[in-house]
Amino acid sequence: MHSSTRQKPLTRQTLSSATALLCRNDVMLQALLDEFGQPPLWQRTQSFDTLVHIVLEQKVSLASARAVMLRVRQLCPGMEPGRFLDVEDKALREAGISERKVSYCQSIALALHGGDLNLTQLRRIDDASVLEQLCAIRGIGPWTAGVYLLMAMRRPDAWASGDRALVVSLAESAPLETVPSYAEFDEYALRWQPYRAAAARLLWHAYLCRRRP
């Protein structure tokens, strides 16, 4: 993956430009743009709050993760790592966080509170180094780190390896008879470099639009 250089965060304007460049060379993505329109930027803050929210989204629906996140914010107003560590495990579990995810969120809070992870410093390093630093923290794997890179840091070539909605959206859009494995899709997505973040947004947008009631 050639994510070695740090690039400016995506804006609505540069997302639109990247989408246009991708669609010029990819009939499937052009069809998605024609049918569903320009995808949202989906920007999130570069914060502990966002990392916790992404952890809560692991393997559950966006709606249920959002509901749990609202309860967590009530337990820890301001979502400061140090204050989060003071919240009792029992209260977090009663808010709807599984025992495993409670430990994940606590390990992230410890890394930030203790200085092992500095989110501001991540802005100054390349994509591969960001992924390496984030994945060194217990509870953050390639998917969580990829989503943070995509939505919080808004890196133009970020990619969420292991995202179920993305592989399903590709299978629906191509169309394919079977949903590809994550490894197959990661390989397939290399054709969209250095604009994989725009391709991901097109596919996510199509996935969500197809499931609107």
Query: Contact 159/146 with Cβ under 8 angstroms?
Result: yes
114 has pLDDT over 50: yes
CB of 80 closer than 8 Å to CB of 20: no
List Cα–Cα distances, 88 to 50, 64, 94, 134, 191, in angstroms.
Answer: 20, 21, 10, 25, 46
Buried-state track 40-55, b at ≥16 Cβ within 10 A, e below 16? ebbbbebbbbbbbbbb
- For 19-73, write each residue's pLDDT tens digit: 999 999 999 999 999 999 999 999 999 999 999 999 999 999 899 999 999 999 9
Say if residue 128's pLDDT is above 80: yes
Domains and CATH numbers, the chain: 12-42+158-210 (1.10.1670.40), 48-152 (1.10.340.30)
Give whole-number Cα distances, 175 to 10, 28, 171, 191, in Å: 28, 9, 5, 17
Integer Cα distance of 142 and 148 in angstroms = 10
Per-residue pLDDT tens over the stretch 148-191: 999 999 999 999 999 999 999 999 999 999 999 999 999 999 99
Q: How confident is the model at residue 3 (pLDDT cuts 50, 70, 90)?
A: very low
Determine the residue type at 118: N
Shortest CA distance to 186 belongs to which of 203, 171, 172, 167? 167
